[in-house]
Homo-oligomer: A and B are copies of this chain.
Amino acid sequence: MTHTPPSTLGPRATQKLQTRQALLQAVLRLTEHQSLGGLSLREVSRAAGIVPAGFYRHFPDMESLGVALVEQSLGGLRTALRAVRVGLTESDEIARRSVEVLAREVRAQRDQFRFISRERYGGMQRVRQAIHDQLRLISEELATDLRSGDVTASSVLADWSEEDVRILTDMIVNHMTSTAAAIVDVPPGRPAVGHQVIATATTQLQLIIVGARHWLDPA
Are A122's CB and B125's CB within 8 A? no
User: In whole angstroms, what is the CA distance A170 to B181 when docked?
Assistant: 14
A73 at the interface (CB under 8 A from B): no
Interface residues on A, range: 35 or more
Contact partner, A33, options B125, B203, B209, B214, Cβ 8 Å: B125
User: In whole angstroms, what is the CA distance A217 to B206 when docked?
Assistant: 13
Kindly identify, within residues 136 to 162 of chain A, every residue whose CB is under 8 Å from any CB belonging to chain B. none
A75 at the interface (CB under 8 A from B): no
A208 at the interface (CB under 8 A from B): yes
Contact partner, A168, options B207, B212, B214, Cβ 8 Å: B207
Are A35's CB and B33's CB within 8 A? no
- The complex is assembled from copies of this chain, and their number is 2
A117 at the interface (CB under 8 A from B): yes
Taken residue by residue from 108 to 132, chain A's Cβ proximity to chain B (1 for < 8 Å, 0 otherwise) reads as 0000000001111111110000000
| Chain A contact residues, majority secondary structure | helix
Inter-chain contacts of A33 with B (CB < 8 A): 125
The interface-forming segment of A19-27, A51-59, A171-179 is: A171-179
A38 at the interface (CB under 8 A from B): yes
Inter-chain contacts of A200 with B (CB < 8 A): 167, 170
Contact partner, A38, options B35, B181, B209, Cβ 8 Å: B35
Question: Given A167-B204, A175-B171, A200-B167, A122–B211 Cβ distance below 8 Å?
Answer: no
Inter-chain contacts of A208 with B (CB < 8 A): 207-208, 211
Contact partner, A34, options B124, B164, B171, B174, Cβ 8 Å: B124
A195 at the interface (CB under 8 A from B): no
A210 at the interface (CB under 8 A from B): yes
